[in-house]
Amino acid sequence: MIHLVTGGARAGKSGFVLAQAEAVPGPIHFVATAEARDADMAARIARHQAERGARYHTVEAPMRLPLALGELGAGGAVVVDCLTMWVANHVLAGASEAELATQVDALCEALRAQSRPTWVVTNEVGLGIVPDNALARRFRDELGRCNQRVAAISTRVSLLVAGIPVSVR
């Protein structure tokens, strides 16, 4: 089971996903993609780490997400948090559209290979205004393409709106 959970910033995606993953017996493999590029992000990461309990096995995978998914231990559940940061990391590293598409292909294969419940968190960034600069427009477009690909292979897709889950599939 792959469950893609999307929504805007601060919509409650991570809390929703963690509550569901905690209902699964065994370890929770938490695959984190954020990089602490500034003090605010470092504080956010530290806060999220402190919120997770002893059942959580955290793997940092800011760039090599497909590889990290293939190397997880057995049992339990998987939480990937989040595709937004993973795509941003690749865009900021200068990955071409073709290179990123290859990474998304590998990600989809790694997700399909999971034999346990897997939740994937991402942001929906395509509902707002058109960004005023090329980098932001490219990021929005790349994340939109990635989200579509992962949604296509997902068993379930949920949209979180103001903390309320809405079933898309």
Residue (of 1, 2, 13) closest to 123 by Cα position:
13
Q: What is the pLDDT of residue 73?
A: 86
**pLDDT higher than 90, residue 43:** no
Whether 3 is catalytic is no
Q: Looking at 54-146, which runs of residues are DSSP E strands? A: 56-60, 77-81, 118-121
Q: Which residue type does 45 have? A: I
Cα distances from 130 to residues 3, 55, 147, 152, 156, in angstroms, run 28, 41, 18, 25, 28
Cβ count near 61 (within 10 Å): 18
**Domains of the chain (ranges, CATH numbers):** 2-167 (3.40.50.300)
Q: What is the pLDDT of residue 74?
A: 87
pLDDT band at 54 (very low <50, low <70, confident <90, very high): confident
What is the side-by-side order of every strand in the sheet holding 28-32?
Answer: 56-60, 28-32, 77-81, 118-121, 2-7, 156-161, 164-167
Q: How far apart are CA 134 and CA 140, in angstroms?
A: 10
**pLDDT higher than 80, residue 77:** yes
Tokens at 107, concatenated: 């990600």
- 81-124 pLDDT, tens digit per residue, is 999 999 999 999 999 999 999 999 999 999 999 999 999 999 99
pLDDT band at 71 (very low <50, low <70, confident <90, very high): very high
Q: Which of 3, 48, 57, 90 is catalytic?
A: 48
Decide: pTM greater than 0.75. Answer: yes
pLDDT band at 128 (very low <50, low <70, confident <90, very high): confident
More confident residue, 71 or 50: 71
Q: What is the pLDDT of residue 87?
A: 98
71 phi and psi angles, rounded to 5 deg: -105, 5
Reduce the DSSP state of residue 121 to 3 states and report it.
strand
Q: What is the pLDDT of residue 116?
A: 96
Cβ count near 35 (within 10 Å): 17
